[in-house]
Structure formats: structure tokens, C-alpha cells
Amino acid sequence: MRYTKIGKMDINVSVIALGTFAMGGDSNWGPCDDEESTRIIHKAMDLGINMFDSAPVYGLGHSEEMLGKAISGRRDKVFISTKCGLRWDIDEGYIHRQRDGITLRRSLMPESIREEVERSLKRLNTDYIDLYIPHWQTMAGYEPSKAVTMEALCLLKKEGKIRGIGLSNVSAEDIQENSKYGQIDLVHNRFSMLERDAQKDVIEICKEKGIAFQAHSPFQQGILAGKITLDTIIEIGSRAGNKWYEKENLKKVLVMLEKFKPLCDKYSCSLSGLVLAWTLQQIPNMIVLCGSRKIAQIEENASALDILLEESDLAMIDRTINETIN
């Protein structure tokens, strides 16, 4: 396993992190077996992965509870990031989306953040969270300001309840503004072969300010992992609304992936291994967040660290991506 620093935090984290979104067991991904999830977490630790990502909204608390139980007795061996700002138990705030018969609302009011962190600490069975991340920014016309939110987060950091502050699903402008009021250690944004260009400005400001960048959804919700075909039926969760699953777009992606198969033979790896290796080589100290529902998946993800793509192959991949998305 390779490790890197997060922002100004003097902590080494694995460049591959394990996400527990699917382990929440809600309609985004369908039912999930807690015993299998626990085995996956333990296997990840055995492979040297020490960074684990969760959020209260993943399974309405279930993901955090499951993660807390899985790391019991080994808390000092792991780095936990979790989030705040998406509530299903309040009536005020910007409506984010509706799911499973509930309404999710964005709220980054100081009192809401404090209430959330206490609940997350209890569910995770810990007295501190390594990295705390507002899941989404508030929308125009909804309070509080970024200054007020950052003040609340910095106070939690001063109290020792959290060790670092991250941002998620943000623009370069969001990073610039939030950074005025406190140290940002990591930005957690969607990044994949199909969405890389949208992150150029974000990655640039992260480099400028010494902020770590973590790519989530590197397989574009499974479409780049090599298991999806034109006959695959997607009925649940956010994947059903992913434009790349639309028939015409999917055809383009499948043609692109077919062109990568000779590289899989060259590097003796799976398509998902190639995609993950490419992602890791996009910027220095890239951290990639991967979800896994099977032991074999976490093992395959970790094996991508053994792949170092040659410059000519990186250039070929880039040309093929451009032909697909442009």
C-alpha cells in the first residue's frame, strides 16, 4: 500500500480509501449484508488500507454504525472521514432530494452540525472523527454563510471532536471562500474518466493551497468497471439517473472500454484495475475512494497499486477518452 499526507495534518493515509456508501443498505444500492461488509473492512485493513469514508445519510445512520462495530478495538489503526449537512429529521433547509419515502434537506447551521457530530461519534463508537466534511454546500438564499459554517467546524476541531476539515461536491469558488475562514485539508469530489475535465480548476486550487484531493466515484457508479452491458437493467438508486447509463451514451462508453482491453493484456490486469491505475496517476498524491461489496473487489482495487502505466499508454487512454466525451 502507498500512503500520503492529508493537507496540513501530520497523518499518513492510504491512497486507496474504502467507501461505505453501499454498505448503508438503502435504495441507492439495495440490501447489503453486514457480516460481509465487516469482512470487507477487515480485509481492507489487512491490505494496508487505513482510510474509511462514511456519512450519516448512508442508510440513515446504518453505515456509520456498521463501520463503528467493524473497527471496534482497532480504532487507532484507522482514519475515519464522515460528513454532515444532509438531514432527514428536520423540516427546514434546502430540499436536496427525496428517497425511500423521506425528504433529505441540506443544513449547515452550527446547532445542526453540533447535533450531527455527536450522533456520528456515538454511531462510530469513537470520541473523535479524523476528518469531518460538509456533504454539500448550502444553496443561495439559505443560511448560514460559509463563514458561520467554518466557524462551527473550527470550534469542533478546537474541542478535539474532529481533527481536520474537508469539503465535498464543491467548486473552486467554494474552496476559495471556505479557505478564508479556516484550514481545509481535503476536497472530496466526483472524478472519473468521464468527469475529469470538470475538476481541473478544483485540482489546481487544491495544489495551490496544499489541500489533498480525493476522487470519489472513479468507476462512474460501476459503468467503468467492465461489468455493465447494453442489456444491464438499472432500476435502483442514483445510477438510474446517470446520463452515462442512457443507451446512446452507454454505447460510446462500451466502445471506449473495448479499446482499453489490449492494455489490460499488457499489464495483466482487469479493466477496473486499469481504470483505477489511470485515476491514481492523474495528479501527485491522488487519493481514490472505492466502494466494495465483495472481498474480491477490494483485493482487485488494491492490486491497481502494482500497475504503473507508461506515458504512451496514458496518452492513448486520454485520446480515447476525448473521442468518447467530446
Instruction: Summarize pLDDT for 260-290 with one digit per residue, the tens.
Output: 999 999 999 999 999 999 999 999 999 999 9
Domains in the chain: how many in total? 1
Instruction: Summarize pLDDT for 86-128 with one digit per residue, the tens.
Output: 999 998 888 998 887 899 999 999 999 999 999 999 999 999 9
Per-residue pLDDT, 268? 96
Mean pLDDT of the chain: 92
- CATH number of the domain enclosing 95: 3.20.20.100
Instruction: Summarize pLDDT for 48-72 with one digit per residue, the tens.
Output: 999 999 999 999 999 999 999 999 9
Report the alpha-carbon distance of residue 224 to residue 27 in Å, rounded.
21
First to last CA, the chain: 35
Q: What is the pTM of this model?
A: 0.92
Domain assignment present for residue 240? The answer is no
Domain assignment present for residue 164? The answer is yes
Element housing 211 (H / E): none
What band does 295 get if pLDDT is binned at 50, 70 and 90?
very high
Task: Assess whether 58 carries a catalytic annotation.
Answer: yes
Domain assignment present for residue 291? The answer is yes
Q: Point out the catalytic residue in the list 3, 58, 94, 267.
A: 58
- In this structure, the chain runs to a length of 326
Per-residue pLDDT, 26? 67
Per-residue pLDDT, 238? 55
Domain assignment present for residue 251? The answer is no
Domain assignment present for residue 211? The answer is yes
Q: At residue 87, what are phi and psi to the nearest 5 degrees?
A: -115, 145
Domain assignment present for residue 266? The answer is no
Write out the DSSP string of 177-194: HHTTSS---EEEEE--TT
Percent of the chain surpassing pLDDT 90 = 77
Structural domain for 192, as ranges? 3-229+272-307
